[in-house]
Structure 1
Amino acid sequence: MEPLISIIVPVYKVEPFLSRCVDSIIGQTFSNFELILVDDGSPDLCGEICDRYGAMDSRIQVIHKENGGLSDARNDGLGAARGDYICFVDSDDWVSPQYLEKLLESLQEADADICECEVYYTFGEPCTQTGHSQLTVFNTEQALRQLIQDGQLHQYVWNKIYRREMIGNITFPKGKINEDEFWTYQIFGRAKKVVKISDILYNYFQRSGSIMGAGFNLKRLDALEAKIRRQEYLECYFPKLKEEAKINLYFSCVYAGQMTLRFLVNQEKKIAKEQIDRYVKLCKLQNDEVTALTGGSKFWYQILRKHFWLGCKLRNITGRGF
């Protein structure tokens, strides 16, 4: 008997794009799935569109709820999911017809707990892929290192399939943006194997009205909070990775500092600088960690350690870091 895959799609203010997303899931070559559409109190016609699809296909379950944000919607979807495996798709994106089939097939072939595919970033045009599929397997520590480096594996949740038991009771943090960064490292920490396939199966739609398409603001500092929590987690459970993660955290603070100087003013700028200063103190590098820096990173750290905000300003002037 084929396993059941639960696909969770949070829905909010995506009326022009929702049908494209749902149609791409209905048209999957792997058919034993349940699609959970979570209408997060969307003020447009999204709720009605969801209900129409629910009436058309018995595999579709619709949840209507008060608006609570993306994390809250995903958590409600997880609570309703019955599948052996879990996938997430954002409602303005769409997936290849073989999305579920290839992810599940590759996960089972590698006897892995998580499988990730490649992503096509698009303004609306479809992806035309050629070439043979390649499969790379990582153990737990290797997979976490890839997350830290943003290398072959990535923080976002929506281009992956997960064995249900990997998720357990781990939920998304309500009220945060960059919610994936609070969540993904914990799931990877439970996985004995993570597999990456070279197939481009997920179409990420880039639009200015999306959460991540918005300009830099105070909420963007949620990403630093997520990395602070990740650092605490790694120091406890994966100490071999703590030095590399701490360096990544420090330079994430630097980047946030640069963006603060470029885009924030007045009270928002003051609040951001105070918050970043607190995070910088928490991830101050020790002598052996400074030694691990290479090339330009070591040069910039010497400046930033003495004059953090001057260093951020100089990096902006010279175009470093973005």
Structure 2
Amino acid sequence: MKELISIVVPVYNIERYIEQCVLSICDQTYKNIEIMLIDDGSTDRSGNICDRLAGQDQRIKVIHKKHGGNATARRDGVNSAKGKYIGFVDGDDWIEPNMYESLYNFAVENDAQMVTSAGYREYPGVRGKNILRDGLPQGLYDMTDADNLLIKNIFPTGFAKKYYLNGAIWNKLYEKNIINEVINDMEDNFTLFEDNVLNIGAIAKARRIYIQHNIYYHHRERTDSITYRSDMHSFEYMTKAYFYFQKIINESKYKKLWQKQLDEYIICSVFTCLQTFLGDKYIVSKHVFPMNLIPAGSKVVIYGAGVVGKGYKTWVDETGFCKVVKWVDKSVSGKNNGIHGVEPVESIPFVDFDYIVIAVKNKNTA
């Protein structure tokens, strides 16, 4: 018989989304699942909706608790789970029907304690969606082999990183025994960086990890979610995360290698927090490429050939962080097309790209 998978869903004031989320889990082609809905003290109808759904499917278990935050909800779910494997789904997201069957098959066939996948970032309104996947080749990674790319790139981001593992936990399947210790060691009020801490802890304990790029997950980007809130407490959470990371790598045989990666990750995180806290004016004045918004390896069009545009183009060329498929400026016409590699704006529709990066000092100029 196939192993039980426990899927943990934290729920807090998401009455508009929780039913779609739960029904997408109930519709999984992998049937041997338990769905742990952790109502974290919701003050809207979320808890009632969870109870109603539990009455319709015996695989759903609801835990109502005092509000303590996402970290405590996930921890309570893991501690109550009976499955050999654990998956996490945010209560305002939804998943494809074959997600857990696929992840389970990859885990069993490869004797992997952790399996990753890809997902869509779903933006409200006309913004559409983009793909969020690991910046590592698909395949099996033996964590006893110090020469593999994953061990050399365990932290999810850094300056000009070509290889990286996405830091989210909702697009992965874990054996429960590799996350138990780290999730129970986390403080109750851990608000930011919790996914990354859990992931790094799991990576450090796993013997084999399978990375694949199939898309199963739909992550709803909401401006009222905790991800979009940034204040000076972000630096407090970052400091907490640093000490958790430090504890994990101190117990690893790869301590020296991972220490360097950790230092780079923290520096990059400080930069990202400053950008969010101080706003775009700070970033534009420094002419820093928006690498926290553009996934590594993306195909980009740079719009603007002034000081900012030249700075962006030079940085990308030197680091190889992404690929500039076209560099355009509105001052370039068909008559002087191609001077210094800059082309007319009208040429954009004729190239395949993922993002257009606006590289101007004054937004009115664009």
**One fold, TM greater than 0.5?**
yes
- d(CA) in 2 for partners of 1:120, 1:260: 26
Match of 1:186 in 2: 201
2:47 maps to which residue? 47
Show the counterpart of 1:287. Answer: none
Q: Which of 139, 147, 152 is residue 154 of structure 2 equivalent to?
A: 147
Write the deviation string for residues 204-237 of structure 1: whole angstroms up to 9, x where unpaired: 00111111123x2123221343134314532552
Cα deviation digits, residues 44-94 of structure 1 (max 9, x gap): 111111011111111110101111110111111111100010001000000
1:92-128 per-residue CA deviation (whole Å, 9 max, x = no partner) reads 0000000100111111122111001001011369989
Q: Residues 16, 254 of structure 1: CA spacing in aligned structure 2 closer, same or farther, 3 A cutoff? A: closer
Native 8 Å contact 2:121 2:130 kept in 1: no
Contact (CA 8 Å) 1:181, 1:227: kept in 2 or not? no
Does structure 2 conserve the Cα–Cα contact (< 8 Å) formed by 1:6 and 1:83? yes
- TM-score, with length taken from structure 1: 0.74
Contact 1:116 1:197 (C-alpha < 8 Å) held by counterparts = yes
Rg larger in 1 or in 2?
Answer: 2
Kindly state the Cα deviation for residue 10 of structure 1 after the two structures are TM-superposed.
Answer: 0.6
Offset from partner CA, 1:164-223 (integer Å, 9 cap, x none): 221233224311212112322111100011111111011000111111123x21232213
Q: Are 1:148 and 1:248, in contact at CA under 8 Å, matched by a contact in 2?
A: yes
Query: Which amino acid is 2:172 matched to?
Result: K
Residue 89 of structure 2 corresponds to 89
Q: 1:86 to 1:103 in 2, by over 3 A?
A: same
Note closer, same or farther for the CA distance 1:59–1:128 as it changes in structure 2 (3 Å cut): farther
1:164 maps to which of 176, 194, 199: 176
The offset of 1:37, in angstroms, is 0.5
- Residue correspondences, number: 265
- The residue that corresponds to 1:212 in the other structure is 227
Counterpart residue identity of residue 75, structure 1: R
**Cα distance in structure 2, aligned partners of 1:122 and 1:166:** 30
Amino acid across the alignment from 1:204: H
Aligned with residue 241 of structure 2, among 213, 226, 231: 226
Q: Which runs of 5+ in 2 are unaligned?
A: 132-136, 158-162, 281-313, 316-359
Q: Residue 137 of structure 1: which of 137, 140, 144 is its match? A: 140
Task: Give unpaired runs (5+ residues) of structure 1.
Answer: 264-294, 297-316
Task: Find the counterpart in structure 1 of residue 305 from structure 2.
Answer: none
Kindly indicate whether the alpha-carbon contact (under 8 Å) linking 1:181 and 1:223 is maintained by their aligned counterparts in 2: no
Q: What is the DSSP-based 3-state SS (H/G/I as helix, E as strand, rest coil) of the residue aligned with 1:175?
A: coil
Q: In the alignment, is the contact (CA less than 8 A) between 2:122 and 2:218 conserved in 1?
A: yes
AA in 2 matched with 1:46: S
Asked whether the equivalents of residues 42 and 67 of structure 1 are also in contact (C-alpha less than 8 Å), the reply is yes
3-state SS of 1:169 partner: helix
**CA drift at 1:160:** 0.6
Q: Match for 2:196: what amino acid?
A: E
User: RMSD in angstroms over aligned alpha carbons?
Assistant: 2.9
TM-score by length of 2: 0.66
The answer on whether the counterparts of 2:120 and 2:219 sit within 8 Å (CA) in structure 1 is: yes
Instruction: Give the aligned residue type for 1:219.
Output: H
- What is the CA-CA distance between 1:5 and the residue it aligns to? 0.3
| 1:1-322 → structure 2 map (5 Å cutoff) | 1-123=1-123, 135-140=138-143, 142-150=149-157, 151-171=163-183, 172-178=186-192, 179-214=194-229, 216-221=230-235, 222-237=237-252, 238=254, 239-262=256-279
Name the structure where helix makes up a greater proportion of residues.
Answer: 1
Distance 1:259 1:18, change over 3 A: closer
Deviation by residue 1:6-55 (Cα, 9 ceiling, x = unmatched): 00001001100011100100000000000010111100111111011111
1:107-161 Cα offsets, whole Å, 9 max, x none, are 11221110010010113699899xxxx8422233543543325344222211110
